[in-house]
């Protein structure tokens, strides 16, 4: 089981030196990955979800979030072996041509260490501010991924899709290190999105909610990928845990949170469910995060 942790890239305490030092220590203690995330804005009156509903207050510090791609380029120069991930980057807020080139560049600079988790986005304000329609997001995502893969493929590159066009036929580089392009994960939770990711042959990056949801999501993902002709077991499943590993046991907790012993036992459950990689996004002190992750790494 691979273990990873999210970098602290938001809030007043985030700085280049703290981000770099955290990544270096994560690599030193043997963690498999470090992760960034994307948030363009923190509306002062709350974030309105696509589809309606009351405004949602965002976590403290989301008014200042380092860009996920530039952050990983910086971390790539401070490390040598650890995987660099996004969980997640809202792909539809970006042109597929521009995003594909930026991801390919980081992949080359890091020696092929990039694992790009992408999602369709959920906040009305971010779509309006980037001039992107909120409609048909699932279909747009499919075309977006196809366009990026075209950019990463052999020259000359050309794509004429339903929503995106790349042309005329052009030479476009640099290409990612791997022959199949940058490794992608879909930040998907709902069954239609999970099935779409499986049919496209990208990995899965679900948020840990309940064991029942996780087991059902991974089973659906693997079965759909197999039916689509992919090697389902080769597609990564990286589970995101929004909660801490703690010095002491917790009486009430979400799965994969709590003490090292509690989480270690949960990891066996996650492995049995089909996960092969778990990342934690914690709001505790960064030094404590690394100490707990080092203890967990030794335990497993």
In the predicted model, what is the mean pLDDT of residues 18-33?
98
Q: Which pTM value belongs to this model?
A: 0.96
Task: Work out the end-to-end distance of the chain between its first and last CA atoms, rounded to an integer number of angstroms.
Answer: 8
Residues 6+ apart with CB under 8 A from 52: none
Q: Residue 241 and residue 245: Cα distance in Å, rounded?
A: 10
Ordered by start, the domain boundaries in the chain are 2-299
pLDDT digits (tens, 9 = 90+) for 214-272: 999 999 999 999 999 999 999 999 999 999 999 999 999 999 999 999 999 999 999 99
pLDDT for res 107: 98
Neighbour count for residue 249 (Cβ, 10 Å): 11
Q: Residue 8 and residue 137: Cα distance in Å, rounded?
A: 29
pLDDT for res 95: 98
pLDDT for res 291: 98
Q: Residue 203 and residue 217: Cα distance in Å, rounded?
A: 12
> Would you mind telling me the total number of residues written for the chain in this entry?
300
pLDDT digits (tens, 9 = 90+) for 137-153: 999 999 999 999 999 99
The tokens describing 33, both together, are: 């990955």
Q: Which listed CATH number (1.10.10.60, 1.10.3720.10, 3.20.20.30, 3.30.565.10) goes with 2-299?
A: 3.20.20.30
pLDDT digits (tens, 9 = 90+) for 3-21: 999 999 999 999 999 999 9
pLDDT for res 61: 95
């Amino acid at each position: 089981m691979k273990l990873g942790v999210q970098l602290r890239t938001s809030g007043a305490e985030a700085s280049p030196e703290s981000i770099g030092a955290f990544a270096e220590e994560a690599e030193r203690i043997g963690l498999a990955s470090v992760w960034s995330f994307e948030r363009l804005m923190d509306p002062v009156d709350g974030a309105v979800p696509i589809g309606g509903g009351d405004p949602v207050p965002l976590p403290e510090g989301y008014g200042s979030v380092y860009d996920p791609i530039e952050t990983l380029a910086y971390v790539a120069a401070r490390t040598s072996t650890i995987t660099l991930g996004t969980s997640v980057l809202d792909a539809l807020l970006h042109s597929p041509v521009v995003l594909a080139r930026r991801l390919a560049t980081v992949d080359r600079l890091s020696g092929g260490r990039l694992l790009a988790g992408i999602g369709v986005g959920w906040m009305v304000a971010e779509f309006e501010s980037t001039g992107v329609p909120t409609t048909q997001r699932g279909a747009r995502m499919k075309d977006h991924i196809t366009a990026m893969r075209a950019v990463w493929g052999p020259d000359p590159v050309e794509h004429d899709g339903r929503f995106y066009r790349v042309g005329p036929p052009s030479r476009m580089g640099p290409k990612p290190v791997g022959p199949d392009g940058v490794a992608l994960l879909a930040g998907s939770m709902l069954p239609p999105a999970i099935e779409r990711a499986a049919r496209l042959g990208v990995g899965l990056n679900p948020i840990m909610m309940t064991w029942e949801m996780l087991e059902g999501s991974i089973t659906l993902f693997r079965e759909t990928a197999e039916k689509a002709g992919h090697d389902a077991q080769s597609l990564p499943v990286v589970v995101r845990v929004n909660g801490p590993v703690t010095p002491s046991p917790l009486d009430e907790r979400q799965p994969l949170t709590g003490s090292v012993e509690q989480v270690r036992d949960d990891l066996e459950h996650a492995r049995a469910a089909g996960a092969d990689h778990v990342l934690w996004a914690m709001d505790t002190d960064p030094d404590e995060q690394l100490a707990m992750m080092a203890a967990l790494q030794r335990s497993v």
